[in-house]
Amino acid sequence: MQGLEVEGMEKAVSAAALKNDLQTSQTGGLEKNSRLLSEPEERERERKALRFHSMSALYRKEMADHISSKRFVIILAVMAALTVASVYGSMTGIRSELADSGSSMDLSNLFLRLYTTSGGSIPSYMSLIALIGPFIGIILGFDAINSERNSGTLNRLVAQPIYRDSIIIGKFLASATLIGVLVLCSGITVGTAGFLFSGIRPSGEAVMRVLIYLLYTVVYICFWQLMALLFSVFTRYAATSALLSIALWLFFAIFVGLLAGVIANGVYPVNTDYEQSVNMIHYYNLNLGLNRVSPYYLYSEASTLIMDPARSTMGYSYAQIIDAYTGFLKQGRSYLSLGQSLLLVWPHLVGLIALCFFAFETAYVGFMRQEVRGN
Amino acid sequence: MAEENAIIRTQDLTKAYGSKVAVNHLNLDIKKGEIFGLLGPNGAGKTTTILMLLGLTEPTLGSAMIAGYDCTRDSMRVKRITGYLPDNVGFYADMTGRENLRFTARLNGVPEKEIDSRIDELLERVGMTWAGDQKTGTYSKGMRQRLGIADVLIKDPEVIIMDEPTLGLDPEGMREFLQLIKQLSIQDGRTVLVSSHQLYQIQQICDRVGIFVDGALAASGRIGDLGKQIASEGHYLLEVEAEPTDDRFLGFLSSLSGIRDISKEGDHFIISSSRDLRTEITAFLGTNHYTLLHLRQKGGDLDEIYRVYFEKAEEKEKEDRNARLGSGRHGKGRVRGSAEK
């Protein structure tokens, strides 16, 4: 109680002082004012410079570390194989589809099919990335903090004039940059290769769609990197955090879907015809809502909406569907326009970014509170 | 006495983890330019103290200042002028020694132009020029410690804090390493705080030491002064060997007044007493036709100082505990035992 009073009084006093300062600065002219402000300002500038210095040093080091590491070679090889395989697969897929349906095939957005078509036994680029992407994120993040702690470099690092959050941010940014570069390179390669080999020319809209899709992919993979980083803060061994990350990925990719079905069926049973006629819509909405907890589902849904505008009318609330349909009718088209697609997927992006923030904040708070000592 | 030029100062510095008090009202004054040895057994709270000095953990109570900056609130400024060589220092194994140093230099905002020349100079100084381009994953423990010194020096610190720096070094490496630490103080005028439980090694280079037991400073000062202090407080330790070693001799020894403990170590008797017994013993041996083979008054060396203070702190703790327990079952005997002193 007393403490509060004192604090309150101090505030009142400092407010009075501030008022005084303002008055003197108004009356006393500019010179006095600048003198009053200069010291904290300078300190602030100094702090910012320091933050930038140390963070950029760490960023450069992390970057160099990643690029010269063996695991980066593996990531590159995987990405290259994935890109080449999916280009080959989609080309065979499109070719056989053309041969089957002949001139009746819908040729709109053919360019996008380079990313969405599976061919032979090879899945589409989109599903391959959704599968492999998280692993790339995890590989880049799972030992970020705990390996430094175990090798005794972390306590040397935190004893340098670097803010602790700069350590996490620097590490995140370095990995995020690599993820961005990798995803863009591979995504653009698919389009370019498709264009060169098949002569499918992209429209401006298709290019926009691809870029937006790649942006989602980067955010999605960054989420997995952050999750791995989070585990690396809280676990002692790199292997533990890698296993936890992979377990979480499996949970989101496979079990959330199963669980959502079971739970939705428990709440709104759809086992008999009667139940179906009464509960179907509730069951469906609940099932979808639960599924959307999973970043894997969010990402898959968003990428389908962006990349497969003709097929994607599944899985939205009524309001959204009506919105989108009125959009169709106005424009007289059989698929979602870019604007309509974006309207449907922006919540997904917000959701993914929110998940990223959640992972980052938890890692950040955990790391700030940890005591770093030798071994 | 040296209030004015204390560069490291702690006031009632306390750190508690739950109910366990790791550091207990520590008051420390370390003068500019001296080598101060923080000595104590493992788990005495040395590392915790160092972490608080670097602002890496917050004190529960009290404050620590380095060069006038508060270690908790102004930790960035403190870290800029303080070099820290942690216990079991590690480097990025995939980077060479030079690259590791360059990274530290950049973190500290050393201008790019100066970095390379400074690295060369420091590698030369710690005798590691030959290994500067090897990956640090191949380094031995001793090499890592030397690189650690270079790593600390690259920011040109005023204060250097080392946590158990001599652990795991071979005797030759140890000697050279201590020489290096000594130079930091004498040539460069830097203040060095060394924590260790290896008394003999640290004794050679410290200007002053603090004996740290169970989170509290049991004693601090110059080693010589501490030795005198112990003697004046009545802690004597005498080594005697005489021929023949019979019961009569032992009987005489135990009949002397002020004897605290007699034990046998090899052929020597070790006599712990509260006064100087040498005259009486030699007189007895002379008149009874014994041959004196060995007589040495121990004390004054760090090991002895350490032992005494460690025992004292333990006894004090026991007393405190007993006082808290009041007239507990075992309380009386122990209190009496330590009161005899």
Q: Please tell me whether residues B285 and B307 are part of one structural domain.
A: no
Q: Give domain status of residue B1, yes or no.
A: no
Q: Please tell me whether residues B91 and B157 are part of one structural domain.
A: yes
Give domain limits for chain A. 44-369
Query: Are the CB atoms for A142 and A242 separated by under 8 Å?
Result: yes
Sign, CA torsion A309/A312/A313/A316:
negative
Q: Please tell me whether residues B205 and B324 are part of one structural domain.
A: no
pLDDT for the residue B71: 86
pLDDT confidence tier of residue A51, bands split at 50, 70 and 90: confident
Position A64 pLDDT exceeds 70: yes
B80 touches A at CB < 8 Å: yes
CATH number of the CATH domain containing B239: 3.30.70.100
Mutation to test the B interface, candidates A158, A166, A369, A372, most B Cβ within 10 Å: A158
Region A221-246: mean pLDDT is: 93
Average pLDDT, chain A: 80
Q: Higher-confidence residue: B199 or A205?
A: A205
**Residues of chain A above pLDDT 90, percent:** 27
Query: Are the CB atoms for A371 and B57 separated by under 8 Å?
Result: yes
Q: Please tell me whether residues B171 and B92 are part of one structural domain.
A: yes
Q: Higher-confidence residue: A212 or A371?
A: A212
Q: Give domain status of residue B166, yes or no.
A: yes
pLDDT for the residue B28: 87
B86 touches A at CB < 8 Å: yes
Region A129-152: mean pLDDT is: 90
**Who among A50, A153, A159 is closest to B109 (CB)?**
A50
Q: Please tell me whether residues B134 and B267 are part of one structural domain.
A: no
Q: Is B49 exposed, middle or buried (0-12, 13-18, 19+ CB in 10 A)?
A: buried
Q: Please tell me whether residues B261 and B273 are part of one structural domain.
A: yes
Q: Please tell me whether residues B207 and B93 are part of one structural domain.
A: yes
A48 touches B at CB < 8 Å: no
Q: Do A68 and B80 touch (CB under 8 A)?
A: no
B228 touches A at CB < 8 Å: no
Q: Do B109 and A58 touch (CB under 8 A)?
A: no
Residue span of the structural domain in which B311 resides: 302-339
Other C-beta atoms within 10 Å of B62: how many? 17
Position A332 pLDDT exceeds 50: no
Q: Give domain status of residue B26, yes or no.
A: yes
Position A74 pLDDT exceeds 60: yes
pLDDT for the residue B315: 67
Mutation to test the A interface, candidates B77, B99, B107, most A Cβ within 10 Å: B107
Query: Are the CB atoms for B205 and B35 separated by under 8 Å?
Result: yes
Q: Please tell me whether residues B143 and B28 are part of one structural domain.
A: yes
Other C-beta atoms within 10 Å of B304: how many? 19
Position A26 pLDDT exceeds 50: no
Distance between CA atoms of residues B2 and B6, nearest Å: 6
Distance between CA atoms of residues B332 and B13, nearest Å: 33
CATH number of the CATH domain containing B57: 3.40.50.300
B89 touches A at CB < 8 Å: yes
pLDDT confidence tier of residue A215, bands split at 50, 70 and 90: very high
Q: Please tell me whether residues B111 and B199 are part of one structural domain.
A: yes
Total structural domains in chain B? 3
Instruction: Tell me which DSSP letter residue A102 carries.
Output: G
Distance between CA atoms of residues B177 and B170, nearest Å: 10
Tell me which residues of chain B have a pLDDT lower than 50: 1-2, 327-341
Position A10 pLDDT exceeds 50: no
Position A315 pLDDT exceeds 50: no
Q: Please tell me whether residues B132 and B277 are part of one structural domain.
A: no
Position A324 pLDDT exceeds 80: no
Instruction: Tell me which DSSP letter residue B166 carries.
Output: T
